[in-house]
Amino acid sequence: MTLSRPHPAAWVIALNSGPDNRLVPELLHELAANLDIVEAEWRASGGGAEDPKERGKFGGAGTLVITSALPKFFSNGLDPACLIDPNFFESDYDPVIYRLMTFPLVTVAAINGHAFAGGMVLALSCDFRVMTSGKGMMCMNEILIGLPLPNSFCQIISSRLTPNAARDTMLGKRWTQPQLLKEGLLDEVVDDQGPGKEGAVVKRAVELGLKASATIGSGTWGAIKDGLYHGFIDDSRSFRKVVMPSHAAISFEKRKNLEKLTAAKVGGAKL
């Protein structure tokens, strides 16, 4: 993972964990540390100052771009091995995503490849999203591999997508760029194909973020987002168990057997 500052009010974090930027604890912890560095540098340059005169040359504006240094994937989501740890979401994944969702700078996902499952959630956690015009799709593929959505995933999907789009997404739809634009899940598709266009997605993300961040100098943007998205962390810390398909099947069989037993006791009457 690299952190750069291409403009005094813009920072870029590029994920670089081959082959496909799986969101393992080590990557998430490194991302969290870099978020702290970005916020510290933004505040040191006047961001969030109460007195407008102390907000520096750019009035406290600031944007953070999240992208990938890999050619094919923005992020391919979680490593299934992480799911062995019952505390993975509460301890590792959810806190970093919530930090990004409520970050005091304007955040932009520069999606220069596929964003699947937890990688799609990472992109949805940003304020804006721009995407390559080349190969790249977004998808929640849990249903295709027999996994339910984690509690916190459900909240962010329902908050970012329309009901119909959320339904299609949870059924495993692979969204293309035109479809994502139509649904409002992308703000722009950037033409980055061909000679001289390398890095165009990140460049446009920086431009968009700088323009949008002109009003955030007081530091209230993060607090506003915290009010909007507090349900995410509430859900992630709920101790409601995620129902696995096997659990649902067992529960159904138990209910059928109970109904048969009850019907027999009342002389054949059905419940």
Domain count within the chain? 2
Q: Indicate if the pLDDT at residue 261 is higher than 80.
A: no
> Are 193 and 247 contained in the same domain?
no
> Are 119 and 215 contained in the same domain?
yes
> Are 250 and 207 contained in the same domain?
no
Residue 110 belongs to a domain with what CATH number?
A: 3.90.226.10
> Are 188 and 80 contained in the same domain?
yes
Report the pLDDT averaged over residues 193-213.
Answer: 92
Distance between CA 193 and CA 256 in Å, rounded?
Answer: 57
Buried-state track 159-191, b at ≥16 Cβ within 10 A, e below 16: ebbeeebbebbbeebebebebbbebebbbbbbe
> What's residue 260's pLDDT?
66
Q: Indicate if the pLDDT at residue 271 is higher than 80.
A: no
Out of 23-37, 214-228, 233-247, which region has the weakest mean confidence (pLDDT)?
233-247
> Are 260 and 227 contained in the same domain?
no
> Are 175 and 226 contained in the same domain?
yes
> Are 262 and 207 contained in the same domain?
no
Mean pLDDT of the chain: 87
What are the backbone dihedrals phi and psi of residue 256, each rounded to the nearest 5 degrees, phi first?
Answer: -60, -45
Q: What is the pLDDT of residues 235-246, one digit of tens each?
A: 666 555 555 555
Query: Across the chain, which distance is largest between two alpha carbons, in Å?
Result: 84
Which domain does 121 fall in, by range? 2-236
Q: What is the pLDDT of residues 98-131, one digit of tens each?
A: 999 999 999 999 999 999 999 999 999 999 999 9
Report the pLDDT averaged over residues 158-163.
Answer: 87
> Are 97 and 28 contained in the same domain?
yes
